[in-house]
Amino acid sequence: MSLTRRTSLGLLTLALARPALAQRPARVMAGAALETLATGLANPWALAFLPDGRMLVTERPGRMRLVSSNGAVSAPLAGVPAVWARGQGGLLDLCLAPDFATSRTLYFSYAEPRDGGAATSVARARLSADATRLDDVKVIFRQQPASGGPVHFGSRIVAGRDGTLFVGLGERGQMDRAQDLSTHYGKVVRIHTDGAAPRDNPFIGKPGILPEIWSVGHRNIQGAALHPETGALWTVEHGAMGGDEINIPEPGRNYGWPVITYGRDYSGAKIGIGPRKDGMEQPIHYWDPSIAPSGMMFYTGDAFPHWRGSLFIGALAGSLVARLTVENNRIVAEERLLAGLGHRYRDIRQGPDGFINLLTDAADGLILRLRPA
């Protein structure tokens, strides 16, 4: 059975069945076609490509699955720890170690059940040789403190070029704690792969400040990526009603939430003092109204040469993919793709073939693939 709908981008056919093979691509824009690679995933959150072209996918309820290049979805992998799958909590991001081809090491973030509720944790594990389970699972970082709140867990994990890990963390709906350096709420943290704080982190040795903190004043980071040329970390975070931000977090800098923001509260009330304050950083780009940005990547492939160097960001509330033109760390143009299809785009990753792969956030979530027409 299939559903055909007319959108602003043309006529698109979406399958309601769960095929093992990708559908015949449907043209959605000049030079590009969209196909459904896999279906039946429960609120998929993150996607990572293995060296052989297969994919690991996390599902927010607490499962990790392997997806073949033709869309066949495996049984859940064994060894995933229990997650706090409430509200926005659950199994979240996934990042392969740079030496995964030899070490089979990966990192993942999740809402970990704890006394007092839950908080975002990062674990290290090894994918078994037959790719059916996680071995040697060890938690290497725990956001402090735990909370019973169901929102704003973050989080994305990015491996830096120096071998450290960046982790973007939400403020758990407790906005003032994004400015509190005795908590990890609303921060980017930087850790070694064993969880230790690097000695060159900006707040090392300062009393009352958690040593893992890299940058301060974030609301809910949902996307992160390294710039392919500079190696700098870029992040994107949710605002409230408006004020979604792209930042390039620098060590020790304060990005303002909730003192400054371009958004307003959902009630319409003002948040903080306005958009600017001395000593607090400005985003390089923001959206008002909000699009609820999530997965983020720089495109470096050959399949779409005219998009090389673009920054792609999936949107949840906006149900679109934003393609941003970047020049000298500035956003100079935005193109909105795949709007009108009704999908919440949770993650976006470039495949080894240069095609663009998307996860849709739904109880029956999809892996979509954008390829040349």
Please list the active-site residues: 152
Enumerate the H helices of 24-111 as residue ranges.
100-103
Q: How many CB atoms lie within 10 A of CB 106?
A: 21
Token output for 199: 């000695």
236 near 293, Cβ under 8 Å?
yes
What number of CA atoms fall less than 13 Å from residue 39's CA on the CB side?
Answer: 13
Distance CA 126, CA 137 (A): 7
Distance CA 183, CA 79 (A): 29
- CA dihedral sign, ordered 303, 305, 307, 308: positive
Residue 100 backbone dihedrals phi, psi, to 5 degrees: -55, -35
Distance CA 91, CA 113 (A): 11
Look at the chain and count its residues: 373
